Amino acid sequence: MPSDAAVTDLLAALAYGQLSAFDRLADDARMAPTLASRAEMSAMAALEFEQYRRVAQRLTDRGAVPEDAMAPFVAALESYHALTTPSTWLEGVVKAYVGEGMAGDFYREVAAFVDDDTAALIGEVVADDVRASFAVREVEAAVAATPAVAGRLALWARRLVGEAISQTQHVLADRESLMLLLVEGTGGLAGVPALITRITDRHAERMRALGLD
Amino acid sequence: MPSDAAVTDLLAALAYGQLSAFDRLADDARMAPTLASRAEMSAMAALEFEQYRRVAQRLTDRGAVPEDAMAPFVAALESYHALTTPSTWLEGVVKAYVGEGMAGDFYREVAAFVDDDTAALIGEVVADDVRASFAVREVEAAVAATPAVAGRLALWARRLVGEAISQTQHVLADRESLMLLLVEGTGGLAGVPALITRITDRHAERMRALGLD
């Protein structure tokens, strides 16, 4: 079983990821072409905040101060967002689905290495069904109207993946506890490639769902 | 009793006010000096969204399309926010409490003129206890540290009130249904001064609570 510190770090990284996703989704919602789609992305932001609140509460229950626990992860998450600030509504939609989806997959994978209670909480707060149907509908409509959009959004998604991987590596390099959690969980590095393959496969599924593969 | 159209307009104005408050509070939260205070203002934003959702649902239940119903109120609310964009964290805090508080008082007053169900919903979605304790704590601490801040924030609050009144007048001038609701509700204009006095009194109470009177 991983150390208490590792589980706290994992929850703290997840919590700050959700707080920053709330913030960015709320911001990106402003680019919506209609009030209805703006309200939908705002709803996703509000949901991220609810999920943040649950994870922060769990940190508190574990005796941690959420703000202190999250502090080590602020720089990496903010870098990710700064390097992937959407310049159009559709970029925001793809980021909400692809970026948050991949983060969710990562946490779901790592959840297999921690205690059942923590794993259950993680599983509940990273569900992305709402984002999926929303993103698919928005992107399908846009590509139907302007087919050239697909190529640009596919490139954009590749950039999101690249930055997400890069920032995850920074976090793992800085936080020994999380690196150990991952290495021990996968059985001494041997399982890491399979984990990456699963995350990559799920990313590919999302791209197919969006019609951007 | 006011017309169905007037009640729909009232709920739509309230709904868009909450959706735009969500958006602005989420944005202003970024100026927070600590992660803890950022999370608190983000929580207020998320709460506005939940309240928006309830009012939008009521609009749907009444047979209205929320987006269409809200459209006439977008310009006035966006003007208010554009003219009162906080440039510091404390200006954001004061706006969250004083601006949203005064809007809430206005809707609470007008709720007296509509059916009980609508009035009950309005009463529930405009409560401001959370904002109050948060704003008082933040402003008290800032003024204790730098007394000169008080004068600047008092001027800022006056500007918020001025712009809120100005935009409310624009809305009433454009939407006959709401003007009639107000005039008929107060008994043929006679009650309007008393209504304004009550809203002003509550604003003064807030300023006293903040130590900015």
pLDDT above 80: residue A128: no
Asked whether the beta carbons of A45 and B49 are under 8 A apart, the reply is yes
Q: Each residue of A12-59: pLDDT tens digit?
A: 999 999 999 999 999 999 999 999 999 999 999 999 999 999 999 999
Q: What are the start-end ranges of the E strands in chain B?
A: none
ipTM: 0.79
Structure tokens at A60: 């508190």
Q: Each residue of B78-132: pLDDT tens digit?
A: 999 999 999 999 999 999 999 999 999 999 999 999 999 999 999 999 987 778 8
Q: What is the pLDDT of residue B193?
A: 81
Q: What is the pLDDT of residue A187?
A: 78
pTM passes above 0.90: no
- State the nearest Cα–Cα gap between B213 and chain A, in angstroms: 33
Burial class for A190, CB neighbours closer than 10 Å (0-12, 13-18, 19+):
exposed
From residue A103, how far is each of A85, A109, A164, A178, B19 by CA, in Å? 16, 10, 8, 15, 27
In chain A, residues with a C-beta closer than 8 Å to the C-beta of B35 are 19, 66-67, 70-71, 74
Domains in chain B with CATH codes:
4-210 (1.20.1260.10)
Distance of CA B110 to the CA centre of its chain: 13
Q: What is the mean pLDDT of chain B?
A: 92
Mutation to test the B interface, candidates A22, A30, A35, A48, most B Cβ within 10 Å: A35
- State the nearest Cα–Cα gap between B50 and chain A, in angstroms: 8
- Within 10 A of A149 (CB to CB), how many other CB atoms are there? 16
Residue B55 CA to residue B22 CA, distance in Å, equals 14
- More confident site: A167 or A95: A95
Q: What is the pLDDT of residue B184?
A: 85
Helix axes B149-174, B192-210, angle to 10 degrees: 160
Partner residue opposite B39 with nearest CB, options A19, A30, A71: A19
- Within 10 A of B32 (CB to CB), how many other CB atoms are there? 18
Residue A22 CA to residue B43 CA, distance in Å, equals 10
Which H or E run contains B180?
helix B176-185
In chain A, residues with a C-beta closer than 8 Å to the C-beta of B36 are 66-67
Q: What is the pLDDT of residue B179?
A: 86
